[in-house]
Amino acid sequence: MTPSLTERTRTTLTLRAETAAELMTPNAVSIPETESVREALAVLTEKGFSAAPVIDEAGRPVGVLSRTDLLVHQRECVHYRPQPPERESIPEGFQVEEVEGTLVRDVMTPVIFSVSPETPARTVVQQLLGLKVHRLFVVDEAGVLVGVISAIDVLKHLKP
């Protein structure tokens, strides 16, 4: 006999992790704040990430760069070169885009939410929900990024 929908929805899920260190993805891909927006876009696209932490020279998180940040920047900052002199004509319908040198630190969201590796897993979940964010950074005592906890990481640790 197959259990009814009501019986199946009564299954209690348990978080099988005690601390942030158990939930986190260690050695998270991060983007230096001095990297160009173009390079950062390549990293996010190549890895299939929706966002990544932005770090300073010491490895401390200073912000988050998301696809949304990049889209807003792109919408606001596309510039085209004027038509070149006739000796350098461009076929009709084409334009030459100027490659701009905007840095990640100029586009990122300069807010971070972090926890220590020892933070209880229950607190991590409460912070994700309470702050309405998709990820928390895990930092060591010196504030250096050691991992990232996403909502997906939490879901991976749920067991019936």
Instruction: Give tens-digit pLDDT for 72-130.
Output: 988 887 666 566 665 567 777 777 666 668 999 999 999 999 999 999 999 999 999 99
Answer for the pair 63, 108: CB distance below 8 angstroms, yes or no. Answer: yes
Residue 22 pLDDT exceeds 90:
yes
> Sign of torsion, CA 134 33 69 109?
positive
Map out the domains of the chain with their CATH numbers. Answer: 5-159 (3.10.580.10)
Instruction: Give tens-digit pLDDT for 133-152.
Output: 999 999 999 999 999 999 99
Question: CA-CA distance, 27 to 32, in Å (whole number)?
Answer: 14
Burial of 86 (0-12, 13-18, 19+ CB in 10 A): exposed
pTM over 0.85: no
